[in-house]
Amino acid sequence: MFALQVPRLRLGLAIAAVVVAGCMFFGAPTSAAPPSEQEMAARIDALLAARWKQEGVTPAASASDAEFLRRASLDLTGTIPTVNEVREFLADTSADKHRKLIDSLLKKPTHATHFSNVWRNALLPVDANQVFFGGDNGFRSWLRSQFSQNVPYDKIVTDVLVARGQGGQVGPALFYTALQLKPEELAASTSKIFLGVQIQCAQCHNHPFDHWKQDDFWGYAAFFGQLAQPQGNQQFAAMVTDADTGDVKLPESEVVVKPKFLAGEASEDGVLTRRMRLALWMTSRDNAFFSRAAVNRVWAMLFGRGIVEPVDDLGGKNAPSHPEVLDELSKYFADTGFDLNRLIRTLAATKAYQLSSASDGENRPELFARMAIKSLTADQMYDCLQDAMRRRELSAYTGQPGQQFAGGFDQLRQQFLARFNAPGQGTTEFHSGIPQALMLMNGQVIVQATNLQQSDLLGALDAPFFSDDDRLEILFLSTLSRFPTDDERPGATAHLENASNKRQALSDVLWALLNSAEFALNH
Amino acid sequence: MSIIRRRDLLKACGVGFVGYSMSGWLPAFANAIAQDPKRKRHCILLWMTGGPAQTDTWDMKPGHANGGQFKEIETAAAGLRFSEHLPKLAKLADQLAVIRSLSTKEGDHGRGTYLMRTGHQPGGPISFPCIGSTLSKALGSADAELPNYVSIAPYEAFNRAAFGPGFLGPRSAPLTVAATNFFQQPQPQQQQPAYAELGVDDLRNPGVDRAQEDARLALWQSLQDGFLKKHKSASPVAHNTVYQRAVRMMRSDAAKAFDLAEEKGDVRERYGKGRFGQGCLMARRLVERGVPFVEVSLGSAGGGAFAWDTHAQNFPTVKSLSEELDAGWSALMSDLKDRGLLEATTILWMGEFGRTPKINGNAGRDHFPAAWSAVLAGGGIKGGQAFGKTSEDGEKVEEGKVDVGDVLATLCRALGVDPETKNISEIGRPIAIAEGAPIEAILA
């Protein structure tokens, strides 16, 4: 057994090297160099503006600098800026400060952490953090290291597709064990996430109205048909590894289906494993699905909805709101070697990303004529609360290479996420209900945040050299990332001035800020 | 597609009880049924944390070595016998249908809890909602003053997902009362209160008095108004609505539903002084006020974190838990009956699995999902009977083997909810509330 295993493993590694080299070859720009970030951003703006004109729609005004800073911080690092960051950004008079901000946000450790949370939620079922999976810390740590080095997107996806090892370990293998190594689940999940194609409806029968047939589904699933299957009930602790043999059959039949690419030809078994062949095909520059699905997803992360909605169903039925934007961005993403940070810099440099979210009610979100208001994810909400009360260091991941997340062992965080997670639901909806509102008004997290003895923020504000006006500004800056308006100052100042207990009055203002819609939403 | 049998059609179109709502069929008619105020239905789940021993409660094995120490007693229903430690429930046995042939496949607390509460094994791409979330969504109305799903004294740490709304999202999550968290230290009590104290979790911040709360809410309101004036889109408006309702809960009469001090001493006594008994009393008050789904957990605190998990010293523990169960459940059923609410309220009793018929070396019983019992009672249920049968030694099911899906589908039918009602999961796949065959023999 062992004697056979070792040479095979070596061969596997050698082939993996070939695969990586192959990807680099495929990923290398073959056509003219892609446009610059500024050129591409201007092109997107021109296409959006042409549509507004055609529809007779006036776009919103630009967001204020403070709004832009908060929005970009939440989108790129998952949390709000510090008081000093707000002050510095607002004081900065340079013309390119927005661009510089995006660059600096992408370099922060919190950027990799946030993206690992977002992609973990896209890739894994929400319950995959359970003990019987070994937890999801190893998976998130691996994702984090990819984003902190800006590993090209095709390489990340390749590594997920050819993952080996144990689910609970550092690495992408949990993607397989969380789906119990089932070819049909892996087929449905990878095609949806990486290709934006929903083929699972064809699993049981040919769908009368859909493009995909049962053979397409099982031909695609056959690429996962040679995973070594665990015995009995052990799939959660299973090793993910390729077997030499294995086939998938049509349901309730003995008909073996050979691996076949979607909308493509059959793939003969040979020296590469089936999963490697799938990875090569999927991440190829010639695969139109791959780049489009990624671009649409990243667009939705910044703009609140995809150019195609739902974000993971690009297969025909759902027309893109801006077909040219999607086409040109997909080509651009492929031509830049699937550079995620460059794609984000480009989208964030558009005028569209800088539009205000203010709205008088009428709304056509698919025109992107104003910024969508996004609900914070459970992770974002928790981190914002921690940061607003300056407690992040107690639970934070510092970003040192090799260090694992502490998050999995932070019980307060786990409890919070269990209450606030909204798997698979759109970000422009507000998901919470009464129990969540009660938790934010009266629960442990908020009690700690506004506790007169425990809160570092309230303690710091007690310093005698601050005026009440200073204190009010700091509270607003540390929660809403802006100064209080002229309308807001008198009421809050009166509350501070009339209070017999200053600290308690400050905690009241902080409580109101943390429970406001403005804090709970990314606008 | 579900097959609609002639009998169901006749039932639905005829007079009297309608047990099957026909999704996609005769929509106007089905709608009229759903909107009939008299048809407001309630469900109470009595959840037994840790896995209760069927051989010492509902499926006794007298005369066999596996039978244990307890005696069997007669009940109000001819031929149906329970443990001697369930005397009050025995008097109400004409309302109870015992399922003695439940057979499941998960013998681990976390996985079994998920299976029984969602109807599905854990793992895979879908995060399934628990039955409380799906049924409260089906039975409740979105803008009711009280929450549609209240969970009293749950112990969630076995498997948090099993107590949650899954893909239905946070709005279908339960409001919890006195939830126990594994990592929470028990509060040392200065003096033992006369009755277990049950309060809605996070209903108030103990360090903040009414005047300070007023001041905070006034500050909050002005911030809200400023933001909403400029952002008239759906999510800020939804945020504001949810907060208004939560504040109303904190301050209005509605919250009195949870205040057991309004009940007379002899009533509180009758239900039992512990968390389960007082939880049953709270369940009655909530059902009276129209809450469609209430669950009360037993075995989650007091006598240890998961008291039904009797690997050792099974008998004294099961005796005391049975006494708690007997008092709380019987008082609840009698009171609901007196108020004319029992026929609109279906009760399900179960845990995550049963326990080994064979008694181990520590006078305990271990995890046993192969052959065990659940109980249905009240509205829509034909009581006074046991369904299915286990072997003389209790080791296997001999007649009428059913799975969790069958039990949940039966519960749905008793409540007048079509078990085939679909919700869309996070991966776009429609998921039925319960997948299984309703047990016709115990449906009224």
Q: How far is B247 from chain A (nearest CA, A)?
A: 8
Answer whether A451 touches B (CB < 8 Å): yes
Answer whether A503 touches B (CB < 8 Å): no
pLDDT average, residue stretch A291-296: 97
Please tell me the distance from the alpha carbon of residue A454 to that of residue B196, in angstroms, as a whole number: 30
Give residue A232's pLDDT. 64
| B136 chain-A contacts, CB cut-off 8 A | none
Answer whether A123 touches B (CB < 8 Å): no
Give A439-476 pLDDT, tens digit per residue.
999 988 888 778 777 777 888 888 889 999 999 999 99
Give residue B434's pLDDT. 97
For A333, the enclosing helix (H) or strand (E) is helix A323-335
Asked if the Cβ–Cβ distance from B242 to A433 is below 8 Å, we say: yes
Token pair recorded at residue B293: 């789904």
pLDDT at A5 over 60: no
Q: How far is B428 from chain A (nearest CA, A)?
A: 9
Q: Are B429 and B439 in contact (CB under 8 A)?
A: no
- Interface subset of B 396-425, CB within 8 angstroms of A: 425
Q: What are the CA-CA distances from residue A382 to residues A388, A420, B275 (Å)?
A: 10, 9, 31
Q: How far is A14 from chain B (nearest CA, A)?
A: 32
Q: Coil, strand, or helix at residue B244?
A: helix
Give B131-148 pLDDT, tens digit per residue.
999 999 999 988 788 899
- Across the beta sheet with B149-152, what order do the strands follow? B175-177, B149-152, B293-298, B42-48, B345-351, B372-378, B96-102, B385-387
Cβ of A400: how many Cβ atoms within 10 Å?
8
Asked if the Cβ–Cβ distance from B147 to A433 is below 8 Å, we say: yes
Confidence band for A234, pLDDT divided at 50, 70 and 90? low
pLDDT average, residue stretch A165-169: 86
Give A49-70 pLDDT, tens digit per residue.
999 999 999 999 999 999 999 9
Q: How far is B118 from chain A (nearest CA, A)?
A: 13
**For the domain bounded by B17-22+38-205+258-442, which CATH number is listed?**
3.40.720.10
Confidence band for A21, pLDDT divided at 50, 70 and 90? very low
Tell me A208's DSSP state: T
Give B341-379 pLDDT, tens digit per residue.
999 999 999 999 999 999 999 999 999 999 999 999 999
Tell me B47's DSSP state: E
Asked if the Cβ–Cβ distance from B219 to A360 is below 8 Å, we say: no
Give B39-73 pLDDT, tens digit per residue.
589 999 999 999 999 999 999 999 999 999 999 99
Domain map of chain A by residue range?
15-28+110-282, 376-522
Mean pLDDT rounded to a whole number for chain B = 87
Answer whether B240 touches A (CB < 8 Å): yes
Asked if the Cβ–Cβ distance from B228 to A517 is below 8 Å, we say: yes
Please tell me the distance from the alpha carbon of residue B411 to that of residue B420, in angstroms, as a whole number: 12
pLDDT at A160 over 60: yes
CA atoms within 13 A on the CB side of A431: 24
Please tell me the distance from the alpha carbon of residue B299 to that of residue B352, in angstroms, as a whole number: 12
Considering only the beta carbons, identify the residue of B123, B176, B233 that sits closest to A180: B123
Q: Which amino acid type is present at position B408?
A: L
Q: In whole angstroms, how large is the CA radius of gyration of chain A?
A: 25
Please tell me the distance from the alpha carbon of residue A108 to that of residue A80, in angstroms, as a whole number: 13
Asked if the Cβ–Cβ distance from A495 to B215 is below 8 Å, we say: yes
Asked if the Cβ–Cβ distance from B111 to A132 is below 8 Å, we say: yes
Q: What is the ipTM of this complex?
A: 0.89
Asked if the Cβ–Cβ distance from A423 to B110 is below 8 Å, we say: no
Answer whether B170 touches A (CB < 8 Å): yes
Asked if the Cβ–Cβ distance from A435 to B235 is below 8 Å, we say: no
Record the pTM.
Answer: 0.84
Q: Which amino acid type is present at position B110?
A: G
Please tell me the distance from the alpha carbon of residue B199 to that of residue A441, in angstroms, as a whole number: 16
| B204 chain-A contacts, CB cut-off 8 A | 442
Q: Are B426 and B126 in contact (CB under 8 A)?
A: yes
Beta bridge partners of A522: A374
Q: Are B112 and B353 in contact (CB under 8 A)?
A: yes
pLDDT average, residue stretch B371-391: 98
| B216 chain-A contacts, CB cut-off 8 A | 508, 511-512
Give residue A192's pLDDT. 93
CA atoms within 13 A on the CB side of A363: 16
Give residue B181's pLDDT. 60
A343-357, B306-320, B419-433: which is most confident: A343-357
Buried b (16+ CB within 10 A) or exposed e, B290-313: ebbbbbbbbbbbbbebbbbbbeee
Token pair recorded at residue B388: 């299915």
Tell me A80's DSSP state: P
Closest CA to B49 of B316, B305, B370: B305
pLDDT average, residue stretch A364-373: 95
Q: How far is A132 from chain B (nearest CA, A)?
A: 9
Considering only the beta carbons, identify the residue of A375, A451, A513 that sits closest to B235: A375
Considering only the beta carbons, identify the residue of A411, A424, A521 that sits closest to B427: A424
Give residue A419's pLDDT. 84
Answer whether A60 touches B (CB < 8 Å): no
| A487 chain-B contacts, CB cut-off 8 A | 226
Give B81-103 pLDDT, tens digit per residue.
999 999 999 999 999 999 999 99
Q: How far is B429 from chain A (nearest CA, A)?
A: 8
Q: How far is A64 from chain B (nearest CA, A)?
A: 14
Q: What percent of chain A has pLDDT over 90?
A: 61
Considering only the beta carbons, identify the residue of B125, B230, B233 that sits closest to A185: B125
Q: Best residue in B216, B229, B244, B367 to probe A by mutation, most A CBs within 10 Å?
A: B216
Give B149-208 pLDDT, tens digit per residue.
999 999 887 888 899 899 998 889 999 998 876 444 445 555 678 898 898 999 988 889
Asked if the Cβ–Cβ distance from B181 to A415 is below 8 Å, we say: yes
Asked if the Cβ–Cβ distance from A512 to B167 is below 8 Å, we say: no
Give residue A427's pLDDT. 84
Asked if the Cβ–Cβ distance from A508 to B216 is below 8 Å, we say: yes
pLDDT at A391 over 70: no
In terms of phi and psi (left: phi > 0; alpha: psi -120 to 50; beta: otherwise), the region of B307 is alpha
Q: Coil, strand, or helix at residue A523?
A: coil
| B202 chain-A contacts, CB cut-off 8 A | 435, 438-439, 441-443
Q: How far is A185 from chain B (nearest CA, A)?
A: 7
Q: Are B91 and B330 in contact (CB under 8 A)?
A: yes
Q: Best residue in B202, B217, B248, B426 to probe A by mutation, most A CBs within 10 Å?
A: B202
Confidence band for A412, pLDDT divided at 50, 70 and 90? confident
Asked if the Cβ–Cβ distance from B227 to A517 is below 8 Å, we say: yes
Q: What percent of chain B has pLDDT over 70?
A: 87
How does DSSP assign B283-351, residue by residue? HHHHHHTT-SEEEEEESSSSS-TTTT--SSSHHHHHHHHHHHHHHHHHHHHHHHHHTT-GGGEEEEEEE
pLDDT average, residue stretch A327-347: 97
Beta strands in B22-71 (DSSP E): 42-48
Give residue A207's pLDDT. 61
Asked if the Cβ–Cβ distance from A438 to B224 is below 8 Å, we say: no
Q: Which amino acid type is present at position B260?
A: L
First to last CA, chain B: 25
Q: What are the CA-CA distances from residue B120 to residues A36, A221, A378, B406 (Å)?
A: 51, 23, 25, 12
Give A197-227 pLDDT, tens digit per residue.
888 777 776 765 567 888 899 999 999 999 9
Size of interface A-B (CB pairs under 8 A): 209
Answer whether A122 touches B (CB < 8 Å): no
Give B98-132 pLDDT, tens digit per residue.
999 999 999 989 899 999 999 999 877 888 999 99
pLDDT average, residue stretch B249-273: 90
Q: Are A444 and A386 in contact (CB under 8 A)?
A: no
Q: How far is B211 from chain A (nearest CA, A)?
A: 11
pLDDT at B8 over 50: no
